[in-house]
Amino acid sequence: MSTVAHENNHHDEHHHEESFVSKYIFSQDHKMIGKQFLMTAVFMGVVAMMLSIFFRIQLAWPGEESTFLNTFLGDNWAPGGIMKENMYLGLVTIHGTIMVFFLLTGGLSGTFSNLLIPLQLGARDMASGFLNMLSYWFFFISTLLMFASLFVYDGGLFGIQLGDAAAPLAEHTAWDGSGPAMSGWTIYPPLSGLPNAEQGSGLGMTLWLFSMGIFIASSLLGSLNYIVTVINLRTKGMKMTRMPLTIWAFFVTAILGVLSFPVLFSAVLLLIMDRMAGTSFYLSDIIVQGEMLANHGGSPLLYQHLFWFLGHPEVYIVLLPALGLSSEIIATNSRKPIFGYKAMIGSILAIGFLSFIVWGHHMFVTGMNPFLGSVFVFTTLLIAIPSAVKVFNYLTTLWKGSLVLTPAMMFAIGLVSTFITGGVTGIILADSALDIAIHDTYFVVAHFHIVMGMSAVFGMFGGVYHWFPKMFGRMMNTRLGYVHFWITIIGAYGVFFPMHFVGLAGAPRRYYDYTVYQEFDQGTYDMIMDLNVIVTFFAIFAAIGQILFLFNFFYSIFRGPKAPQNPWRSNTLEWTTPVEHVHGNWPGDLPIVHRWPYDYSKPGAEEDFIPQTIPLAEGEEEH
């Protein structure tokens, strides 16, 4: 591996005049770019959360007129206050897409990798400020395209007519149609590959594909930067084994991204070609809307393999940063080293590696060869081991600690709880024989929402609360933080826990309503509806709680109390920079690192923390 970085002392001496545009808009400073990612991700998160409230209302009270729905969705999508069936699918699709990619990938990696990698490594900035800036602006453009796709109507949007408004569904091309993509966030072809298979498969789907293509470019640019910076720009003394676990997590995440996103890109490209260039990668033997197609030889399973080859590492791209942030928050707020630092690194590496060989567990019932299925059962259950190791290490970190329950710490503890809960149901789903009966039911929905919608989101909240002083030089309000935490954990568990039972009862996902059950099993219908109502109430409760967070976040940016330099009494390097942002991070020389970042409550030390820059004392052993 490369040795530590060359001194970069002279960088800060050329003071570029920063205009408003170069400071706030086309910034090449990693701290500003991190904040830009955060703002965009928060906006998209609010949008996706609103979409989920809309379809939760539909699920709890199907067929009932709702002025709320009519107000937000208009007469096009909720005439008379009743949601249109295909718009339900559109909302579900865009909700999933935004949450997985824009909030949890852009908002976790984009924000915190950018903010923390240079700061925690003692670097002036990322390896390439320019590519970093491009990475954000590509992200922003893809956000616009994805958000705009919600407003597609009759082949046009915002007054621009791209398709034929008068064409009937059977004659739709890739530029026609109304509504966003409606094939689920996984957009399996042929439903997504045939513009005339449903309304959303026309222009809405085209915009989705272009948006994701650009998003992938953004992600790759960012990941390349992160990898190069971690390898090349560590300051003197910052060996790989002295890096905080956050950096290890971001580093492995970036490697996962670089290796897996291009495969999604290829899946997207082939789908674009099937839709617009008459190819047959995914299409074969199809009669749609009465029209017999000549496509032959393609396979929908090809798409699924390509998609999930990214799709699985993607969930670890989402989760690892959250775990990394929590490791830091838990260690700092327990005033104890993270237990098993090397084992934690090993787990991150193991999870990273294994994440590439488990994708088939999303495909047990697709008709792929059962032997292949067995292989994926084996590898998927293997990946439970490093995950379990991490949980046990977190528990042991808390044990005999001296806990300070800041809002960030609460979210980190909440993350461990939800990681356990969501992780164990993953074990059920990994067992292919069991998956047969619960694949594509609410059991799956419960599982991935608990690990992503709770664990990863909690990691993000914890990260925001903990590093807010570093990002904005001010403190968030603690009281509001507590109330936000409790509303969120109670609300979110209330939303996703009952879903396990809905799923075990066999209720499929992506169903507009469950009225079919009344034709064959009234008892189960009643149970599903009871639970749906409970879930929706908790969802509304949790959503309202987020208003507190948004208020706290924005208010504190402008009026929060000024932050001290090291409010959490933490060891890592980012807390040695001045509170006011300096381009180049340290006004003078770069810091020199003498120890690992987890010397909290070290016996023989006066303070209960020893920053990494403090040299070893006489006779002191490095850990």
Task: Indicate the DSSP class of residue 579.
Answer: S
Q: By C-alpha distance, which of 224, 206, 216 is closest to 105?
A: 216
CB count in 10 Å sphere of residue 525: 18
Which residue's CB is nearer to another protein, number 149 or number 229? 149
State which residue, 469 or 591, has the beta carbon closest to another protein: 469
Smallest distance from another protein to CB 171, Å: 8
Question: 114 or 347, CB closer to another protein?
Answer: 347
Cβ(283)–Cβ(189) below 8 Å: yes
- Of the pair 12, 164, the CB lying nearest another protein is at 164
Q: Number of C-alpha atoms within 13 angstroms, CB side, residue 453?
A: 27
Least distance (Å) between residue 600 CB and another protein: 7
Tokens representing 71 are 């107000």
Least distance in angstroms from the C-beta of 10 to another protein: 36
Token pair in block for residue 23 = 């400071």
Distance CA 529, CA 119 (A): 50
Contact 215, 139 (CB under 8 A): yes
Nearer to another protein, 210 or 501 (CB): 501
Find the shortest distance in angstroms from Cβ 444 to another protein: 11
Residue whose CB is less far from another protein, 26 or 188: 188
Give the count of beta carbons closer than 10 Å to the beta carbon of residue 515.
12
Block residue for tokens 């024989």: 433
- Helix 300-334 to helix 457-472 angle (10° resolution) is 60
Q: Is the distance from CB of 245 to CB of 345 less than 8 angstroms?
A: yes
Three-class secondary structure of residue 505 per DSSP? coil
Residue nearer to another protein on the CB measure, 183 or 229: 183
- Mutual orientation of helices 478-504 and 522-559 as an angle, nearest 10°? 160
- Rounded to a whole number of angstroms, the CA Rg of the chain reads 25
What's the closest the beta carbon of residue 516 comes to another protein, in angstroms? Answer: 5
d(CA 142, CA 153): 19
Q: How far is the CB of 212 from another protein (least distance, A)?
A: 18
Give the shortest CB-201-to-another protein separation in angstroms. 9
Beta carbon of residue 197, minimum distance to another protein (angstroms, whole number) = 6
Minimum CB distance to another protein smaller for 130 or for 392: 392
Residue 449 to residue 124: CA distance in whole angstroms: 37
